[in-house]
């Protein structure tokens, strides 16, 4: 069963986790900040199949989290929930290995959010997925 680490500090975005929490085929861990992302990944690097990061995480920034994840866990897929998506932000993310298709713009409906997560999980090679 795929396990997702979802880091977002905005309460309205936390609401997006509702559909995923009801999915019996997924395990979702919701945390509020960048430090918790790195702590969780360092404690159990093979526990997660996908990381979802809000674009304005406290404690350790989203960009710093991405850089660390790319350095330490090179193949771990990442989705970004962004409030604004302009060329500069897309360029910053692309430089860290996040393609445009992995940047989701808020507000986003629960269904589109869930669909994007399932799409990202479907693209993970089978040997990478948790059982």
d(CA 25, CA 8): 22
d(CA 49, CA 17): 16
Tell me the DSSP string of 84-124. Answer: ---HHHHHHHHHTT--GGGEEESS--HHHHHHHHHHHHHTS
- Label residues 82-113 b or e (16+ Cβ within 10 Å = b): beebeeebbeebeebebeeebbbebebeeeeb
7: β partners? 31, 53
The domain in which residue 18 lies consists of 3-122
Q: Is 32 helix (H, G, I), strand (E, B) or coil?
A: coil
- Is residue 130 a part of any domain in this protein? no
CATH number at residue 39: 3.40.50.2300
pLDDT in tens, 121-131: 998 877 554 54
pLDDT in tens, 1-44: 899 999 987 665 667 777 676 778 888 888 889 999 999 999 98
* The pLDDT of residue 107 is above 50: yes
The percent of residues in the chain predicted with pLDDT above 70, rounded, is 89
Q: Considering its fold, how many domains does the chain have in total?
A: 1
- Is residue 55 a part of any domain in this protein? yes
- Is residue 127 a part of any domain in this protein? no
| Residue 71 near residue 44 (C-beta atoms within 8 A) | no
Structure tokens, 74: 């090179």
- Is residue 129 a part of any domain in this protein? no
- Is residue 131 a part of any domain in this protein? no
């Amino acid at each position: 069963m795929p396990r997702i680490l979802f880091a977002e500090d905005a309460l309205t975005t936390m609401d997006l986790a509702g559909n995923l929490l009801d999915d019996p085929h997924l395990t979702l861990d919701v945390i509020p900040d960048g430090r918790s992302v790195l702590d969780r990944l360092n404690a159990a690097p093979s526990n997660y199949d996908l990381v979802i990061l809000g674009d304005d995480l406290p404690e350790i920034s989203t960009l710093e989290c991405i850089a660390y994840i790319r350095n330490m866990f090179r193949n771990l897929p990442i989705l970004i929930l962004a409030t604004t998506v302009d060329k500069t932000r897309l360029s910053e993310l692309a430089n860290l290995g996040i393609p445009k298709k992995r940047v989701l713009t808020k507000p986003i409906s629960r269904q589109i959010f869930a669909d994007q997560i399932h799409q990202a999980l479907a693209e993970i090679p089978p040997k990478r997925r948790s059982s």
